[in-house]
A and B are shown apart, each in its own frame.
Chain A
Amino acid sequence: MGPDAVGVPLSKKAYSAEAGATQDAYAQVPGFYTLFRTELVLSARRRSDIVNPLLFFVTVLAMMPLGIGPEPEMLSRMAPGLIWVMSLLATLLSQESLFRGDYEDGSLEQLALQPQPLYFPVLAKVLVHWLVTGVPLALLSPLLGMMLNLGAAGYWPLFISLVLGTASLSLIGAVGAALTVALRRPGLLLALIIMPLYVPVLIFGTGTVQAALDGYSFGPQLAVLGAILAVAAALAPLASAGAIRISLEN
């Protein structure tokens, strides 16, 4: 397989020759590396896609004390749950555009026409989505923990659970994004179909922080989050690939 086999369908995204050359080394996972690179560069250029979910996250969390009152004890009790629910929403809102651009300009169709399975391209896109939303959310979380008076024991578990959990969220949300990509205004529908599937991640995400705050070991909860991530990484791209093919028929 030459570099072009993968490069051509996405030619409008201007692959550099050098990207095509390195790609040969990753021929076992067709198109993964090339697509990953391109997506990363693309999202780095569309800065609003990275910044907006984060701004949303911070703004809504800043509303919370205004809504429920500034008592530090109450805020610190609610902090893990609030931060986690807001991460859910921020991920979900940013997910709508995951396949949208590629669907509208036709490159999704080109990708689907390739002989290789869609698994790796989808995984590459989800990985980039996680890198530009989930990881920054996790990095911002200590700041918000401080604003919401989170106990000192909670910072590290919050960060690590967000890193693991948002990866699962990105994967699960990709299924919803793929299912709704052909619809004109999928925003609320996407939330409706995906939110219930986020429940386990939310429970074990906040569970991790709560366990640490209560002085227990949070390893088990983290292990469950990891297990969820493993299952999601195996199955969600498959389901997304199927959903993309369905959406393309529409």
Chain B
Amino acid sequence: MSWQWFHRLGSPRWFYQKSSAWLPWLGGAALLLLAVGIVWGLGFAPEDFKQGNSYRIIYIHVPAAFLALAGYYIMAISGAIGLIWKMKLSFVVMRAAAPIGAALTFIALFTGAVWGKPTWGTYWVWDARITSMLILFFLYLGVMALSGAFSREQSGDKASALLALVGTVNIPIIYKSVDWWFTLHQPATLKLTEASTIDPSMFYPLITMIAGFYLFYAWVLTLHTRAMILQREGRTQWVRELLGAPAPTKA
């Protein structure tokens, strides 16, 4: 049983070279799905009888919220892989995932707030989901701040990976407790995003958007990872050769 593939997977050089072939496909598919989903959701999905057209925000709010949460786990898991197998690439992926996740959390928060205005009459309500999203946003910011605080790159990698792991253990507890807190303080509110009650004609564009967001995430994560690899490996021979430097002639 050889573990060669696993270690090859951990090599930034291998990833950089292979991923340039996937990128156009990934990006093309993501943008296609997103474009279809947006047009479908904005123009062709039927109007909601209760919320009117403002419900169309669901088509970005829910996928962004999905990916914001999934992104935290992706970040934490790649950080864990880095800590356990000392894999260079997974730390790079972890660092790249942090700002992307934060941006998606921001989208979820922003669209949620804008959706709240016509629905609840106010931009911000301390709703359980929104509050959890806000805390998730803080968790992302914490990981980003910590990873940038160390002068030695490897220390920043490991420290922020550990923090992400601690956050992962905490997220379910935070979600449960915020949920409980919310039911305590506001027992009756409308539930907006009950997937079970949604009509198929509204659900299919949502599925399209979720798939589009997942592909987009993979694409952007690859892009960010590649940029960071280039930055970190700038002094190595393979990057120099990539940029047209002559191979070293051993005298």
Residues of A within 8 A of B (CB): 175, 179-180, 182-183, 186, 189, 192-197, 199-200, 203-204, 207, 210, 224, 228, 231, 235, 239, 242-243, 246-247, 249-250
Contacts and interface: CB of A to CB of B under 8 A. Distances in A.
A200 B169 contact: no
A193 B143 CA distance: 7
A200 B184 contact: no
B235 to A, nearest CB: 21
25 contacts: A175-B162, A180-B149, A183-B149, A192-B142, A192-B145, A193-B145, A194-B142, A195-B138, A196-B135, A196-B142, A197-B170, A197-B174, A199-B178, A200-B170, A203-B178, A207-B181, A210-B184, A224-B177, A239-B166, A242-B83, A246-B155, A246-B159, A246-B162, A249-B155, A249-B158
Interface residues of B, number: 32
B146 A199 contact: no
Given A180-B149, A192-B138, A250-B150, A199 B174 contact: yes
Given A189-B146, A199-B174, A250-B150, 10 more contacts: A175-B162, A179-B162, A192-B138, A192-B145, A193-B142, A199-B178, A203-B177, A231-B173, A246-B162, A249-B155
Interface string B148-172: 0111101100110011011101100
A203 B178 CA distance: 7
Contacts of A242: 83, 162
Nearest to A224: B177
B74 interface: no
A176 B103 CA distance: 24
A49 to B, nearest CB: 24
Given A197-B166, A207-B184, A246 B158 contact: yes
Interface of B: 83, 135, 138-139, 141-143, 145-146, 149-152, 154-155, 158-159, 162-163, 165-167, 169-170, 173-174, 176-178, 180-181, 184
A107 B155 CA distance: 20
Give 10 closest A-B pairs by Cβ, nearest first: A193-B142, A200-B177, A250-B155, A196-B138, A246-B158, A203-B177, A203-B181, A200-B173, A196-B135, A196-B139
Contacts of A224: 177
B135 A182 contact: no
Contacts of B167: 196-197
B69 to A, nearest CB: 14
Given A179-B162, A196-B142, A246-B155, A189 B149 contact: yes
Given A192-B141, A195-B138, A246-B159, A203 B146 contact: no
Contacts, number: 82
Contact of A200 (B146, B165, B174): B174
Contact of A235 (B135, B139, B143, B169): B169
A249 B150 CA distance: 11
A207 B141 CA distance: 27
Nearest to A191: B142
A249 B156 CA distance: 11
Contacts of B143: 193
B152 A175 contact: no
A125 B169 CA distance: 23
A197 B139 CA distance: 8
Nearest to B136: A196
Contacts of B151: 250
Contacts of A180: 146, 149
Given A192-B142, A197-B170, A249 B163 contact: no
Nearest to B140: A196
Nearest to B179: A203
B150 to A, nearest CB: 6
Contacts of B163: 175, 179, 193
A193 B156 CA distance: 14
A180 B184 CA distance: 36
Contacts of B142: 192-194, 196
